[in-house]
Amino acid sequence: MKCIDDEIPFEIPASWEWRRLGSIIDFSKSNSVKSDSIPDDIWVLDLEDIEKDTGNLLTKKRKVDVEVKSEKHIFFIGNVLYSKLRPYLNKVIIADENGVCTSEILAFDFGLIFNKYAQAFLMSPYFTDYAMSDAYGVKMPRLGSKQGNNALMPIPPINEQYRIIAQIESISPKISIYGQAQSELDQLNITVKDRLKKSILQEAIQGKLVPQDPNDEPASVLLERIRAEKERLIKEKKIKHDKNESVIYKGDDNSYYEKLSDGSISCIDEETPFDIPSSWNWVRLGSIFQHNTGKALNGKGNGTPREYITTSNLYWNSFDFSKVKVMNFSEGELDKCTATKGDLLVCEGGDIGRTAIWNFDYDICIQNHIHKLRPYVFLEIEYFYNVLHLYKGIGKIGGKGIGILGLSSGVLHNILVPCPPVKEQKCIVQKINALTAKL
């Protein structure tokens, strides 16, 4: 005799008893029959015939309808049929006639215990967790005979077993209805939240989310400062002259025009989907950000081994570092292929346009399917993250037949974005975060 208090999973009423399953049934023994001894009209049960989690049967087949090669287990009317393979699927039914089943299904006669109560116990979260806690096999976990026999089963008086099952059966339809309603409500909540967030971002990039402050430095001054910084970098030979440099302005006819570096001017009204405040400017993304992709995979190469991220590590404003790879980077590649705090990283491949801000105090190398965007002067990076997030959500990036279908460097450069004054960019981000937090 030994104390098993540390094994008892929960308290039970005084009129109940704990029993080892092995004292009621036996997980290690089954009545088997060879395939050539099975009558043609017998019921042959396979795992795929049982619906998971419900205790229901999907199909009932006869030997004449199926090819039976291996030995089978025999079962009888009223037996509880339990699948020891992948216990988490909860494939447990009660036989309504005699038959045979695959060797992965065990047929149990629970004797004086009500079979529906036994079925409910074997499908309970307690027993499922117990079965999986020490199951053997990784891809196809199985409940071992020793573990099954050692399980503790709470046994109520027989009349109470019947009352328990009657209560379960009376509330099960309501649970199904409530479960379906909850699922629909959850989906509705997701849809509503998604629509509300898109509405918030739409209002934000149209200049309708926060009021304009006439004392703010207008975006046109910001863009002049960016152009001056670019000229300085060109003179210092740190960057090359941008052949696609342009200035976008609103004409006297209220149309938007773009003047390129070669002096040509064209109307771009078809590219501007809405009007923006007078203190804002339309601008090409590549005009305000230095941008390039990282290093292509090329085996070992020369240089020092360094960790790098790919599109599989980059999610919407978050990163997954569970699988970070290593590749050699030469000193000459590091400047181009290194992201530093504050850089905006955008997927060129994979989920095209997926974007995140590298907001860590250490640097990371990037692979060539990630664009790195770094502003020429200070900008509120999170504002431009929100612009790209909205563009992706409304199909302007990576859409099917509309908008921007890919994100080559040229395509990324030409994305047209509304640019507010820097101070307003910060106010917009604060307002977006405050509103989305309430969702």
Largest CA distance in the chain: 98
Domain at 37, CATH number: 3.90.220.20
Res. 2: pLDDT tops 90 = no
Q: What confidence tens digit (pLDDT) does each residue in 200-218 have?
A: 999 999 999 999 999 999 9
Give the per-residue pLDDT at 189: 76
363 domain-assigned: yes
Contact present, 282 and 257 (Cβ < 8 Å) = no
Mean pLDDT of the chain: 90
pLDDT band at 258 (very low <50, low <70, confident <90, very high): very high
pLDDT band at 286 (very low <50, low <70, confident <90, very high): very high
pLDDT band at 242 (very low <50, low <70, confident <90, very high): confident
Average pLDDT over residues 53-70: 85
Q: What are 420's two structure tokens?
A: 């507010």
Query: Any idea of the CA torsion for 234, 238, 239, 241, to the nearest 10 degrees?
Result: 20
Among 96, 118, 101, 100, which residue's Cα sits nearest to residue 109? 118
Among 389, 69, 4, which residue's Cα sits nearest to residue 202? 389
Contact present, 424 and 210 (Cβ < 8 Å) = yes
Average pLDDT over residues 138-145: 85
199 domain-assigned: no
Tell me how far apart the alpha carbons of residues 180 and 243 are, in angstroms, rounded to a whole number: 58
pLDDT band at 193 (very low <50, low <70, confident <90, very high): confident
DSSP secondary-structure letter at 23? Answer: G
Give the per-residue pLDDT at 263: 86
Final residue of a structural domain among 101, 132, 156: 156
Give the per-residue pLDDT at 179: 79
Tell me how far apart the alpha carbons of residues 282 and 285 are, in angstroms, rounded to a whole number: 9
Residue 410 belongs to what H/E stretch?
helix 409-413
Pairing of strands 99-101, 43-45: parallel
pLDDT band at 402 (very low <50, low <70, confident <90, very high): low
3-state secondary structure 235-291: HCCCCCCCCCCEEEEECCCCCEEEEECCCCEEECHHHCCCCCCCCCEEEEHHHHEEE
Cβ burial of 150 (10 Å; 0-12, 13-18, 19+) is middle
Q: Report the sign of the C-alpha dihedral through residues 187, 193, 199, 204, in that order.
A: negative
165 domain-assigned: no
Final residue of a structural domain among 156, 186, 209: 156
Residue 378 burial (CB count, 10 A):
11
Give the per-residue pLDDT at 404: 64
134 domain-assigned: yes
Give the per-residue pLDDT at 119: 96
Give the per-residue pLDDT at 235: 92
428 domain-assigned: yes
Q: What confidence tens digit (pLDDT) does each residue in 323-372 have?
A: 898 999 998 899 899 999 999 999 987 789 999 999 999 999 999 999 99
409 domain-assigned: yes
- The better pLDDT of the pair 127, 1 is held by 127
139 domain-assigned: yes
Contact present, 295 and 367 (Cβ < 8 Å) = yes
Residue 66 belongs to what H/E stretch?
none
Tell me how far apart the alpha carbons of residues 249 and 230 are, in angstroms, rounded to a whole number: 20
Alpha helices in 134-218 (DSSP H): 145-150, 158-205
Q: What are 43's two structure tokens?
A: 């019921």
Among 257, 234, 238, 236, which residue's Cα sits nearest to residue 247? 257
Does pTM surpass 0.75?
no
Final residue of a structural domain among 118, 141, 156: 156
Q: Can you give the residue range of the structural domain that contains 400?
A: 283-438
Res. 301: pLDDT tops 80 = no
Res. 151: pLDDT tops 80 = yes
Among 55, 47, 28, which residue's Cα sits nearest to residue 148? 28
241 domain-assigned: no
Tell me how far apart the alpha carbons of residues 389 and 248 are, in angstroms, rounded to a whole number: 23
Count of structural domains, the chain: 2
Q: What are 121's two structure tokens?
A: 């116990």
pLDDT band at 182 (very low <50, low <70, confident <90, very high): confident
Give the per-residue pLDDT at 134: 79
